Chains A and B, each alone.
Chain A
Amino acid sequence: MLEKAFVGGRKYWTWMACLLGIMGLGFIMWLWQFRVGLGITGLSRDVSWGFYIGQFTYLVGVAAAGVMVVIPYYIHNYKAFGRITILAEFMAVGAVSMCLLFILVDLGNPVRALNVMLHPTPGSVLFWDMIVLNGYLFLNIFIGWNVLSAERKGSLPPGWIKPFIYLSIPWAISIHTVTAYLYAGLPGRHFWLTAVMAPRFLSSAFCAGPSLLILLCLIVRKTTRFDPGKEQILTLGGIVAYALILNVFLFVCELFTVFYSQIPGHMDHFTYLFFGLHGQGNLAPMMWAAFGLMAMAIILLVIPACRRDEGILAVACVLTIIGTWIDKGFGLVVGGFVPNPLHEVTEYWPTLPEALIALGVWATGLLIISVLYKVATTVKEEGEQKRA
């Protein structure tokens, strides 16, 4: 089926060439980082994780969100989603690939990455994260490819694929839970030391992921002869609305505990993020923007007339994606490190090479998604032609 990705019009090839160009630029920057060290990033002794790990965290969510399509279709027999499960699964493949790449570019010694397998350490959450992410990547490629092959032959997917599909559901939850546990079990990092971390991660995942999927569906409809369907998109819109409200609700729960208890160590991180601490607060405008955007998205999504208008829905999705991206891909990671354990403020801002490397990884993920979507939509188009 992969050959279908090599047939396309001028627009398709221009898009792919652009992605390859960005990937190349990112790769060159990464070679530089590989040679001289992570010192070319904005990271420091005090803020030792930043943009890379933030993107990783965010994209684990996007990947996990595939389950929001799989559950209704396979568990609740919501037939309409049958049209787009493959799109959700292939989006997850691209997102998990990006996750793994972001981990790799963040390592100080990437050539030693396999030490994680050579010296397996079940006590480390990172070890489990490696297992669940790679497992999820495998499951989605395996399931997606098999179901799509069956569809191409005009037959039903083989029965033995069902257990793998059911397994993929808790597995999707697990990738984001384990990722939350990377943060939520560290003594002395009060910002992350909260039991709602995993639920917050999942809720933000289930709004950000479907938002991206809606946008991808709209792009697929525009650029191919396959229409993912109006009903499908609108149902996804409803899921985004619920999850986004839940996400903000859990954030409010967090705020209540922190600010009503008035424990300084817990308040300092929030104060830093939203108001600045000791006169330093370069993230404050972004954090306010994030929650402003999410609030606007909620307003658009809860008004039925707005949510059912695909144009407005698309805007709400963009707002959701940017809002949750700032909150989770930036504030969450950096906020945990400022102030540092000695209560000193060192600020963080990514450097240009760091941003370009991250852009390169995004381009790689988008390339993977483009190739897989090209295959999927071509198979779908051919199937519909045959039936017509």
Chain B
Amino acid sequence: MGVNRRKFLKIAGMSTLGAAAVPASSALAAVNPIEWLDKKLGGFTPFETLLHLFHTPVGFKPGEALTGKQWVMVVNVKELDDEIAEACRETCHRVHNVPQIDNPRHEIKWIWHSEYKHVFTGQHNEHIAEKYHHLPFLVMCNHCENPACVRVCPTKATFKRKQDGIVLMDMHRCIGCRFCMAACPFGARSFNWIIPWPRESAGTLPRFRKGKEPPNPEYPTRVKGVVEKCNFCAERLAKGQIPACVEVCQEAAKEKGKEPALAFGDLADPDSEVRELLHSHFSIRRKPELGTGPNVYYIV
């Protein structure tokens, strides 16, 4: 998002500077100033540029983005196996440049899997069908209806985006107080305890498997001392793509001729696939009694 944002701010800056600069440069290049500006703004009109600065997500392209009122994830537990769960984790962490840290104390997890008794604490009993005991239940941020992490954040660095209900993190504003980590009842948040990214100067600590380059140059790296978590792939939705983990599951399902283990959609849309899934199956959510209103559903 940050690379996009940087680009975006450049564009926004240019749209203001542009007013003065355009006549001069267009006279030199002898091109149509409107076309020139359009090219510089990467498809945005100057008005849109200004509008987006205040209202719409960074990188948002009208017409191209996926939009919804409340995004939800539906986990079809029976379709999960270790291979798919691991593929989801690997892909998510790669596309978001999530630092690969082996020490479990400092680990950063956006999506991972755990056993039923850990995921549904309090709903566990010894006599649950054997196969459920060791199924890899995928867990991630629940993008709650009423998120406790957002309530406690002293800087609004984490916030619930009004237009589609995604709980987002501004890693440029986060002061690293970790109040949100204490508040989250799902353990969905991770803190950068160590330098997540090699520095140019002394003390380089490559955290990635493949050298020093970020796996995904489109997505920013982060600094130490900030909290991060799953963002429902907000940066992909803005480009009209579904979340990476859902894509992985869809491809795996196609190969094996099964149903995908993850489905993603707009809960407010009565015709959406997720609504249909929830309508026709019995589903549960994690710790609903706490009233946070998790938006990740598990079909068991």
Question: What residues of chain A have their CB less than 8 Å away from a CB belonging to chain B?
Answer: 35-39, 43-46, 48-49, 103, 106-110, 112-113, 115-116, 118-119, 121, 123-127, 130, 182-183, 186-189, 264-265, 336-337, 340-344, 346
Contact = CB atoms under 8 A, between A and B. Distances in A.
A188 B149 CA distance: 12
29 contacts: A35-B203, A36-B203, A38-B193, A38-B225, A44-B104, A45-B105, A45-B106, A45-B107, A46-B105, A48-B178, A107-B175, A108-B177, A109-B174, A109-B225, A110-B175, A113-B175, A115-B155, A119-B156, A126-B179, A182-B179, A186-B148, A186-B182, A187-B183, A187-B185, A187-B291, A187-B292, A188-B184, A265-B121, A342-B121
A336 B175 contact: no
Which 7 pairs show the lowest CB-CB distances between chains A and B? A108-B176, A188-B185, A108-B225, A44-B105, A39-B194, A39-B193, A126-B154
Contact of A108 (B107, B114, B224): B224
Interface string B272-300: 00000000000000010011100000000
Q: Name the prevailing secondary structure of the A interface residues.
A: loop
A124 B179 CA distance: 9
Nearest to B159: A121
Contact of B175 (A49, A108, A182, A346): A108
Contacts of B173: 112, 115, 119
A377 to B, nearest CB: 38
B52 to A, nearest CB: 21
B191 interface: yes
Contacts of A341: 121, 184-187
A337 B184 CA distance: 11
B250 interface: no
Nearest to B148: A187
A342 B193 contact: no
B122 A265 contact: yes
A187 B176 CA distance: 20
B157 interface: yes
Given A38-B176, A187-B290, 8 more contacts: A36-B194, A45-B105, A46-B187, A108-B175, A112-B174, A115-B155, A186-B185, A187-B292
Interface of B: 104-109, 114, 117-119, 121-122, 139, 148, 151-157, 173-179, 181-187, 190-195, 203, 223-227, 287, 290-292
A180 to B, nearest CB: 14
B106 A44 contact: yes
Contacts of B121: 265, 341-343
A378 to B, nearest CB: 40
A164 to B, nearest CB: 27
Contact of B194 (A37, A109, A119, A265): A37
Q: Name the prevailing secondary structure of the B interface residues.
A: loop
A130 B154 contact: yes
Nearest to A188: B185
B148 A188 contact: yes
B289 to A, nearest CB: 9
A121 B184 CA distance: 18
Contacts of A115: 154-155, 157, 173, 175
A103 B179 CA distance: 12
A49 B227 CA distance: 13
Nearest to A189: B182
Contacts of B223: 109
Contacts of A126: 152, 154, 177, 179
| Interface hub of A119, A125, A264 (most chain B Cβ within 10 A) | A119
A186 to B, nearest CB: 5
A63 to B, nearest CB: 20
B177 A37 contact: no
B194 A112 contact: no
Contact of A49 (B114, B119, B178, B193): B178
Contacts of B182: 48-49, 183, 186, 189, 336-337
Nearest to A186: B183
A203 to B, nearest CB: 23
Contacts of A346: 104-105
B105 A107 contact: no
Contacts of B155: 112, 115-116, 118-119, 121
A109 B175 contact: yes
Nearest to B196: A37
Contacts of A43: 105, 193
B175 A112 contact: yes
Nearest to A187: B290
Given A126-B152, A346-B105, A116 B183 contact: no
Contacts of B191: 38, 45, 48, 108
| Interface hub of A46, A116, A123, A343 (most chain B Cβ within 10 A) | A343
Given A112-B173, A343-B121, A188 B290 contact: yes
Contacts of B119: 342
Nearest to B107: A45
A107 B176 contact: yes
Nearest to B176: A108
A124 B178 CA distance: 13
Nearest to B173: A115
A265 to B, nearest CB: 6
A339 B177 CA distance: 21
Contacts of A121: 153-156
A340 B184 CA distance: 10
Given A44-B106, A45-B106, A343-B121, A108 B153 contact: no
A350 B4 CA distance: 40
Contacts of A183: 182
A119 B159 CA distance: 13
B151 A36 contact: no
Given A37-B192, A37-B225, A264-B122, A106 B154 contact: no
Nearest to A341: B187
